[in-house]
Amino acid sequence: MRNYDLEFLKRFSMVIGFLSVVTLGLILLAIYLHGRVPPEVSPTAAARTAARIAPTGAVYAGSTGAAAQAAAAAAAVAKAASQVAYGGTTDGSVIYQNLCGACHTNGVGLAPTLVRGDWSARIAQGKDTLYRHAVEGFTGADGGIMPPKGGNPALTEEQVHATVDWMLDNLK
């Protein structure tokens, strides 16, 4: 072989060797960087974590604090109102048709139907007793069952009272 061929092979081998070292270095850098990237968190796990670490209260100070406190109170009232059954209506017929009628129309669980004879002993106990039994629930001596608030805890006491009044006004 000639001298310039040997010189070319020597330099070519050095370039190939240098490129091999650079390639190996890039591979190792990629492996290192891949290990540093945190794994993805599922949205449900993130939601559970956010709920777990959410603040339970707040501190309000000064005039901006008073505004923030008023806004928080308004938001709490709006949230509570959105969770009230049947949009907060106190129309007894609406609540009866959607909830109470399931038992009181057919006498399910020995519930009194809207017949005056079924209610005479109950009416004699007074409205306050009827209200209390409707709100707190009641199990009669005959085995009749009245779940608290008709089985819908989202009802307010005013809604229950309005429904009891509507039922008493519509006895046949």
Residue 27 has what pLDDT? 97
List pLDDT tens digits, range 29-77.
999 998 887 778 888 888 899 888 888 777 767 676 777 778 887 877 6
Query: Does residue 127 contact residue 163 with C-beta atoms inside 8 Å?
Result: no
pLDDT at residue 88, as a whole number:
67
What pLDDT score was predicted for residue 11? Answer: 92
Residues 5-28, buried b or exposed e (16+ Cβ, 10 A)? eeeeeeeeeeeeeeeeeeeeeeee
| Global pTM value | 0.51
Counting Cβ atoms within 10 Å, is residue 116 exposed (0-12), middle (13-18) or buried (19+)? exposed
Q: Note the pLDDT of residue 84.
A: 67
Over pLDDT 90: what percentage of the chain? Answer: 14
pLDDT band, very low/low/confident/very high, at 100 (cuts 50, 70, 90): confident
How many angstroms separate the Cα of 139 from the Cα of each of 85, 147, 156? 24, 8, 21
The per-residue pLDDT for 82 is 61
Q: Give me the chain's average pLDDT, please.
A: 82
- Token pair for residue 71? 């806004």
Please answer whether residues 152 and 134 qualify as being in contact, where contact means their C-beta atoms are separated by less than 8 angstroms.
Answer: no
